[in-house]
């Protein structure tokens, strides 16, 4: 019997992947995990559930199947120097 939320999360991670897409969706631990298919979208609430079990938030924050929360990513390209156009 499962007694806690953490136990349920660990059980979910132990299950075989349910992805039936070809090519298969990346694992929840893969760097490209956000490329997985969306199985449930709730844009009015700001989140989507991906095929690999990741909950992806509109601000790019993520909740992994094991319960680990990842903060939103920052756009590194915004810090690149901007050069003025030469006329």
> Which among 2-6, 20-24, 39-43 has the top mean pLDDT?
39-43
Global pTM value: 0.64
Query: What pLDDT sits at residue 19?
Result: 75
What would the pLDDT profile of 5-35 be if each residue is shown by its tens digit?
444 444 444 444 567 878 889 999 999 999 9
Q: Compute the mean pLDDT over every residue in the chain, rounded to the nearest whole number.
A: 77
Output the CA–CA distances (angstroms, integers) from residue 70 to 20, 25, 34, 41, 62, in the order listed: 26, 19, 12, 19, 5
- Neighbour-count burial of 39, counting CB atoms closer than 10 A to its CB (0-12 exposed, 13-18 middle, 19+ buried): middle
Q: Where are the domains of the chain?
A: 5-72
């Amino acid at each position: 019997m499962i007694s806690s939320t953490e136990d349920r999360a660990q059980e979910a991670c132990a299950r075989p992947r349910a992805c039936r897409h070809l090519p298969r969706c990346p694992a929840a631990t893969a760097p490209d995990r956000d490329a997985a298919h969306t199985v449930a979208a709730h844009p009015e609430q700001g989140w989507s559930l991906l095929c690999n079990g990741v909950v992806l938030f509109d601000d790019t924050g993520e909740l992994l199947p094991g319960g680990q929360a990842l903060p939103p990513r920052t756009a590194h390209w915004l810090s690149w120097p901007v050069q003025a156009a030469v006329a």
